Amino acid sequence: MGGELVLVTGGSGFIAAHCVARLLQQGFRVRTTVRSPRREADVRAMTGEDGEALTFAVADLMSDDGWDAAAAGCDYVLHVASPVPQAKPRHEDEVIEPARQGALRVLRAARGAGVRRTVLTSSFAAVKYGHGNRRVFTEDDWSDPAGGAMAAYPKSKLAAERAAWDLVRGGDMELAVVNPAAVFGPALGPDLSLYAALVDGLLRGAMRAVPKMTLSVVDVRDVADLHVRAMTDPAAAGERFLAAAGVLTLPQIAALLRERLGEVAERVPARTMPDWVVRLAGRFDDRAALAVSELGVVREASGEKARKVLGWTPRPAEEAVLDLARSLPVVKEHPAGAATA
């Protein structure tokens, strides 16, 4: 079977599944890692591929086992998988070290297999923290943990990306990095990402009010497109690329859902949440802690470099939010859901 072979780590994840689907659409063969063979059917369902173009390898970021075999024979690697804490960790190293060591495991396997280029999925979180009242950020910026409070997950993305660049420095291994902002866009499977869970909660009326947060937003389909461009374009070697389409506040997102989805969004709150409530929740929950660090600040990611260097053209932020909402069961199963399409 023809087509270059790409290893995508963590194929059942939100971004990774879209990367797999995008690669298959463009004629690549894909091997993706899963932590358990039981996830293979899920990935096939999400990507719509039931043939030989998609194969699987079992590997876990916490173990050396399986990575050399997963990378063997591959032309490229997209390292998308990263541990996401489901609860506030007892110590931040419980999140940071798995991300850093996992990135190094994948990169060493890629180097050993002689792949042409590896693309690492980092995050805007590795760029935006610790810079006071700075508003607009570019690829030249790096988060500074000493400049202000950072939760464990942002620190893990920063540590993993730093370790990746350190590993390839001075060698002949090609690396490119994609730093997505807040990723919205359609969910392909039942596992909800951070922002899918946020929108789902808004639609289900799980929140009486929304925090006064501002997000740089990007569509997951455009994040996948940027990964493929960073993988194949000669100009991407050795470069970072912020993936962002625009800025929205959570109150604006809530208003957009109410205005565009009508009856389906009748439980979306119209009130804003006092900052002290968010800070209190952030003491007990790592995801809420991410919101605390965003209160009262505007951190905008510039996607200009990806546009100029790689010809990347993202969808509007509003489209990413609405398409995410329309993909959720809470909308699809609503009697008025068909009218939102």
Please give, one letter per residue, the 3-state secondary structure of 275-321.
Answer: HHHHHHHHCCCHHHHHHHCCCCCCCEECCHHHHHHHCCCCCCHHHHH
- Taking alpha carbons only, the member of 155, 156, 58, 144 closest to residue 103 is 156
- Taking alpha carbons only, the member of 29, 75, 85 closest to residue 56 is 29
332 is catalytic: no
Beta-carbon neighbour count of residue 270 at 10 Å?
A: 10
CA distance 234 to 229: 9
Q: Which residues pair with 242 in a beta bridge?
A: 179
Beta-carbon neighbour count of residue 233 at 10 Å?
A: 16
User: Roughly how many angstroms between the first and final C-alpha of the chain, as a whole number?
Assistant: 37
Strands (E) located in the chain: 5-8, 29-34, 54-58, 76-79, 117-121, 136-137, 174-180, 182-184, 209-211, 214-219, 240-243, 246-249, 271-273, 300-301
Cα–Cα distances in Å, from 219 out to 185, 205, 245? 5, 24, 8
H or E element at residue 43: helix 40-47
- Catalytic entry in 157, 212, 308, 332: 157
- Taking alpha carbons only, the member of 83, 76, 79, 61 closest to residue 30 is 76
Active site residues: 157
